[in-house]
Amino acid sequence: MRIARFTTGDEPLFGIVTGDLDEYGQPDPDAQIVALAGDPIYAGINPLDQTHRLADVRLLAPVIPRSKVVAIGKNYADHVVEMGGATGELPPEPLMFLKPNTSVIGPGDPIVYPRQSENVHFEGELAIVIGRICKDVPVERAADVIYGWTIANDVTARDLQKSDGQWSRAKGFDTFCPLGPWIETELTLDEVKAGLRVQTFLEGEVKQDGNTRDLIFDVPTIIAHVSAAMTLLPGDVILTGTPAGVGPMEPGQEVEISIERLGALTNPVKK
């Protein structure tokens, strides 16, 4: 099931997106969205008698994390190398940081280039949406706390990441966490482990072409590690790291991240 959040100009609603995706992760032109009562993470699936053509609504971020977006850095070996590390310098355990929930935007919303930076990068990532309150989740129980999966862009001011010495500002600007286009609830941990292609396109040109089978720390290990430190709440989001190929985006360009089975998340960049 694909759960989106959308507006037709009025109050945002959640809805179920029908139809199949094409080979580029784009929905069927006739796809529809069936509106739901309330937030399905808390209220379950309660369809309203209200259906729209998907093409007629504006999609919003499919989740607004109430407490936090947790992110994992250096979780693909080829990205560690491109950032200046050696393969012998892979992190011994998941490297965790936070992005504020105020950095979240939805599909089509502009990533705003901050005046403090001259080098803003895309990082395409698989994102986990947490479904229940949890702490100290054992690896073998990870599936129980996952509500679904979406696509994230861990936008990063690379110059500030270096000059600040830590990452809060560089990864925390407003608009630096595009999420969407919806939450897929039917993907399994086995499918993620077997491998989903993760690609980032800038102005239609492929820049990142990775695969979730190459995650250094797999999703159950990430959930166990994060929840050993902090309580996770329903709607919290965990970004799993980016493969090689990160690079700069310029105002006026468009960035698209596509992940197999999930679809594609597209955002313009503006000054």
Of 227 and 242, which has the nearer Cβ to Mg ion?
Answer: 242
The sign of the torsion formed by the CA atoms of 116, 207, 91, 179 equals: positive
Shortest separation between residue 122's beta carbon and Mg ion, angstroms: 10
Strands of the sheet containing 197-202, edge to edge, are 111-112, 263-270, 254-259, 197-202, 205-211
Quick one: 19 or 100, whose CB is closer to Mg ion?
Answer: 100
Strand partners, 104: 177
Taking the chain, what is the end-to-end CA distance rounded to the nearest angstrom? 36
Q: Work out how close the CB of 154 gets to Mg ion at its nearest, in angstroms, rounded to a whole number.
A: 3
Q: Closer CB to Mg ion, residue 83 or residue 143?
A: 83
> In this structure, how many other beta carbons lie within 10 angstroms of the beta carbon of residue 171?
25
Closer residue to Mg ion, CB minimum distance, 109 or 154: 154
Residue nearest to Mg ion (CB): 154
For Mg ion (CB under 5 A), the number of binding residues is 3
Which of 250, 244, 256 is CA-nearest to residue 75? Answer: 244
Candidates 14-22, 93-101, 221-229, 236-244 — which segment interacts with Mg ion by CB under 5 A? 236-244
Question: Dihedral sign, CA of 90, 240, 19, 204?
Answer: negative
Query: Which residues ranging from 74 to 133 are in contact with Mg ion (CB under 5 A)?
Result: 123
Least distance in Å: CB of 153 to Mg ion?
9
Residue 242 binds Mg ion (CB under 5 A): yes
Q: Does 200 bind Mg ion (CB under 5 A)?
A: no
Q: How far is the CB of 71 from Mg ion (least distance, A)?
A: 6
Compose the 139-178 pattern: x for residues touching Mg ion by CB under 5 A, - for all others: ---------------x------------------------
Is 238 in contact with 223 (CB distance < 8 Å)?
yes
Between 234 and 245, name the residue whose CB sits nearer to Mg ion: 245
User: Would you state the structure tokens that stand for residue 51, as one six-digit string?
Assistant: 């259906």
- Are 16 and 35 in contact by the 8 Å Cβ rule? The answer is no
Q: Which helix (H) or strand (E) holds 194?
A: helix 189-194
**184 contacts Mg ion (rule: CB under 5 A):** no
Which lies closer to Mg ion via its Cβ, residue 32 or residue 200? 200
Closest CB 178 distance from Mg ion, rounded Å? 12
Stretch touching Mg ion by CB under 5 A, among 38-46, 110-118, 238-246, 263-271 = 238-246
**How many separate helices (H) and strands (E) can be counted in the chain?**
6, 20
Q: Of 68, 67, 69, 88, nearest to 77 (Cα)?
A: 88
Tokens of 89: 């310098």
Q: Which residues bind Mg ion (CB under 5 A)?
A: 123, 154, 242
